Amino acid sequence: MRLAVVGKGGSGKSVVAATLARLLARRGHRVLALDSDTLPGLSISLGADVPDDAPLNAAAERNEKGRWHLVKGVGPARAVQRYATDAPDGVRLLQLGKTDKRGLAPNRASHNAFYQVIHRLGDVRSLDDWVILGDLPAGPRQTAFDWAPYARRFLLVVEPTWQSMLTARRIIRIAREQRDDAEFSLVVNKVTPEADVQRAEQFLGVPLLGTVPADDDVRAAERAGVALLDLAPDAPAVHAIERLADALDVRNIDRL
């Protein structure tokens, strides 16, 4: 399972990605979560620590021509082994690094390392049976610049609003231009009784994986700065994300 979670800003990508990662890990999958956002959304939603400095900063250096490369002795397998950190339920988390008041500059090495590692994950045989699940920042930019080369399936997290659907459509077009083998699944999030889920499905032309209800527990977890699974394990949104995990199961995904 190789997934990239994409969509408009605030559509719920990080909550869905993090909860899904932990639920899949609880089912016995080994899960590598990839956070290519410079905001700490995924780590907070996972309930993982946000390190002050990106661990991957140690993985890349510049040669005399100014070009970045992974440090000697570190290939993609070792980078994941050494620089991914532990998150709850046994999820391993590889992070790009956060922007703080010093700006982006302190994380340039980690950005370069991250980009090189994700482009070579396909060579890492020991990850063959892992779930790889990336949480991308808002909008189409990272998709356009090939920040999810590992993904076989793009999980579009969409609110049932026009703006959210238009952004998702743009992302689908960009991803299809670059990758003719990519698959797409739709998750409609923050669904209320009046929401028109079918409209989103028809508008995007992408099969619906499932819906997640608008749920105050999600907002409460956000306010408390903890993972939804830890604050409200029985929340309706958690049960809905369990059903997404069921639908993604290798035995069921072929039916999509």
Q: Does 12 bind ligand ATP (CB under 6 A)?
A: yes
Which residue number, 61 or 246, has a Cβ lying nearer to ligand ATP? Answer: 246
240 token code pair: 């809905």
56 close to 96: Cβ distance less than 8 angstroms: yes
Q: Does 189 bind ligand ATP (CB under 6 A)?
A: yes
CA 232, distance to chain mean position in Å, is: 21
Q: Does 214 bind ligand ATP (CB under 6 A)?
A: yes
Helix, strand, or coil (residue 56): helix
188 close to 211: Cβ distance less than 8 angstroms: yes
CA pair distance 73, 60, nearest whole angstrom: 11
Each residue 118-147 as x (binds ligand ATP by CB under 6 A) or -, in order, gives -------------------xx---------
Q: Does 41 bind ligand ATP (CB under 6 A)?
A: yes
138 binds, among ligand ATP, Mg ion, none (CB under 5 to 8 A by kind): ligand ATP
CA pair distance 32, 46, nearest whole angstrom: 12
Binding residue for Mg ion (CB under 5 A) from 6, 8, 11, 14?
Answer: 14
Each residue 29-68 as x (binds Mg ion by CB under 5 A) or -, in order, gives ------------x---------------------------
Element (H, E) at 213: strand 208-213
Rounded to 5°, angle at Cα 95 from 90 and 99: 140
Q: Which stretch binds ligand ATP (CB under 6 A): 8-16, 46-54, 76-84, 175-183?
A: 8-16
Q: Does 11 bind ligand ATP (CB under 6 A)?
A: yes
Helix, strand, or coil (residue 57): helix
Residues that bind ligand ATP (CB under 6 A): 7, 9-15, 37, 41, 45, 137-138, 189-190, 212, 214-215, 218-219, 222, 237
